[in-house]
Structures are given as structure tokens and as C-alpha cells.
Amino acid sequence: MSILIISEKPSAARKIADALSGGHARTMGKGKVKYLEFVLGGTQVRVAAAVGHIYGLKQAQPGQGYPVFDIQWAPSHEFQKGSDYTKDYLSVLKSLAKDADEVVNACDYDTEGALIGFKIIQFNAFGKKTSRMKFSTLTSAELKKAFETRGPLDVSMAQAGEARHELDWLWGINASRALMSAIKKAGIFRILSVGRVQGPALAVLAQREREIAAFRPEPYWQLFAHVAEAPFEHVHGKFFDELEAQGVFDRSSKDGSVKSVQATKIKQKAPTPFDLTTLQMEAYRCFGFTPTQTLQFAQNLYEDSLISYPRTSSQKLPAQLDLPRIVGQLALQPAYQPLADQLITQKRFTPADGAKEDPAHPARSRPSSTI
């Protein structure tokens, strides 16, 4: 009995193999592409990595006309520039899948991960026993549980990924060729592209640029009273008539007094866990990180088992993250000890979940066994 586990990246393959083998997996293979091998309960287990999408879409018949609707899935290295490096990874996966009795998709538990593993299995392990490992963190405990409780392939999620890629291709290629054909008739030769997201985004930007170009500034005046260095704006707000503003100013006294003070207590809800978008916004506000930088930092932390999977729209933390354990570890850090001790004493381990939910991935968290 032999099992092949397919991961999305080499770093994830190492994490999975170490978790399931207790750190005793052997590195196998020749050349640049390696895989990991160990025995688990009398079963030979091999863990091999893809490098993202090893299969992609191409036009079934050559040509540059449009519209084109005849497309097919094929190995990326056969038609995509810059994908030559995927050829050796695919070769290793083909060989291992041929010898395996069961093939497990252990790519990231999202639409793209489902599709990456599904395509490898579809073309290289058809008819074999298949299963799916589902995990949101690369901690040993969760990876072991994901393997022990693996279930059927998430075919619906993979098909959703197929549909998205196919629609992107059909829309993007045909619209781009139509656009280039149109400007060519006007005597302009230029490579242009338009896509399902790119096109509407450019339309929004173009409309906004027109509004900016059409804007005509209009001067206005405001009146402020400064009391103990606190500025108070006149109730009228902005004055677009200078004479009116000057008249109000002339009628104003230089002496003022506070007639009443009102104090209100409000109960402020704790901030919700980060989804990717709010994480990127906060990282830019606090540190000036671009969204791409933040995503890369988060991806690195995920691969080091320090946070859960970063590409999520969820604002909810699941119970399986074991929040009491995480808070207990935070209490070992002097900077967090007072606050963590309060939570432990009061047994407050219920997160302030937000409204957004992603069934595949929880919000940002720190589930590592070490801080």
C-alpha cells in the first residue's frame, strides 16, 4: 500500500512530511526536484510538491482570430513562456502517481488549491483512490488531523476554479484581440489586454480621471474659535461668500465661555480578526507596506506555521485554533503578560468575530506552538 500526497509548494511538502513522519522523512529524487518519503503504520507515504498551476488553458487550434471558444487544459510548460521549470515537477508527480494506490490533494484549502491538485489527479491518477486533506495552518497538530480525517475530493470547489479560469480566458483573450483589432484599423499597432476585472477597473479609473479633469476649485472660508487650544468650528460650516464670513467674524466676541459639558459613556466593541483586505489596509496605515508586501509577509508567516492561511475573507476564528492555549503562550511574553493574564483569569476566550465568513479559511490568527 502506498500513498502520494500532493502539496502546493515545496515548503508545504516539507511541513506535511515532517508532521506525519515525526521529522524522519527521507529526501528522495534526482536533480532539482525532490520529494519526501517515509513509512506510516506500514504504509509507504510520499509527499511531492507542485509549484502552483502545473496545468493551464490554451487555444485548441493555433490562430490569432476571434472569437475563440475551443480551449483545453494542458501542461503549462508546453505553451506558457517562463513555465519550463514546471516540467520536472510534473514528471516527478506523474511517476509517483503511477505507483500510488491512493493520491491525496493537500494543496491549500481554497479554490485554487482545489483546482491545482484536482488537475494533477485528473490527468495522472484517473481511476485511483483519491482523497482531500483540509487545513488552514501548517502546524503539526492540524496537519496530522487533516491526514487522519481526510475525505473525498472537493470536486465542486475545483470545478468552480475551472469555470473561473475558463471564463477569464474566454473573456480576456477575445476582448483583448477585439480591442487590438479595433485600434489596428485606426492605424495603431500596440499590444493591449483587457480582462474580467481589469476592464471594469480601468473604466472606473477613466471615469474618475474625467471627474478630476472637469473639477473647478471654488474658494471658501471657515471660522474657528480656539478655547484652551481646542478648535471649535462655526455651526455654519463653510462660507462660500467672503463678505458673509467676514460679517460673522466681525460680530463674534473675542471672549468666550463654556456653558455646559456633556460626557457620554460608550461601549466600544473589540476589533474583529483580520481578513486579508483589512490586514493589508492596516499594514499600509501603520507601516506603509504595499498590499503585495503585506501578502508576501503573511504568506511567509503561514509557511513558517505562525499564522493561518492568509488569503481569506473571513473575520471569524474557529474553535479548533485552541485559543486558551494561544493566550497562555502569549502570557509568557512580558509585553503581553498583564493583558493575557486578565483573559485567563476571567476565562475570556471568545473572539470578537466579524460578520464576514469564509468556509474554507478562518481569519488571521497565530496558532503556532511557539511564540
Q: Which domains does the chain have, with CATH numbers?
A: 2-52+79-153 (3.40.50.140), 268-371 (1.10.290.10)
The answer to whether the beta carbons of residues 178 and 149 sit under 8 Å apart is no
Type of residue at 183:
I
Nearest-CA neighbor of 328 among 345, 311, 350, 310? Answer: 345
Which pLDDT tens digit goes with each residue over 67-88?
999 999 999 999 998 899 999 9
Q: What does the alpha-carbon distance between residue 105 and residue 13 come to, in Å, rounded to a whole number?
A: 11
What pLDDT, on the 0 to 100 scale, is given for residue 359?
Answer: 58
- Catalytic choice (55, 89, 109, 309): 309
User: What are the counts of helices (DSSP H) followed by strands (DSSP E) for the chain?
Assistant: 11, 10
Q: What does the alpha-carbon distance between residue 171 and residue 213 come to, in Å, rounded to a whole number?
A: 31
- The tens-digit pLDDT sequence of the chain (371 residues) is 899 999 999 999 999 999 999 999 999 987 789 999 999 999 999 999 999 999 999 999 888 888 999 999 999 999 998 899 999 999 999 999 999 999 999 999 889 999 999 999 999 999 999 999 999 889 899 999 999 999 999 999 999 999 999 999 999 999 999 999 999 888 888 888 888 888 899 999 999 999 999 999 999 999 998 877 788 899 999 999 999 999 999 998 877 777 788 899 998 888 888 888 999 999 999 999 999 999 999 999 988 888 888 887 878 777 667 789 889 989 999 999 999 999 999 998 888 888 777 655 555 554 433 33
The answer to whether the beta carbons of residues 317 and 356 sit under 8 Å apart is no
- Alpha helical stretches, state H, 125-241: 140-148, 155-185, 198-214
Active site residue 309: yes
Give this prediction's pTM.
0.77
Q: What is the mean pLDDT of the chain?
A: 90
Which pLDDT tens digit goes with each residue over 228-276?
778 889 999 999 999 999 999 999 887 777 778 889 999 888 888 888 8
Cis peptide before 67 (omega within 30 of 0): yes
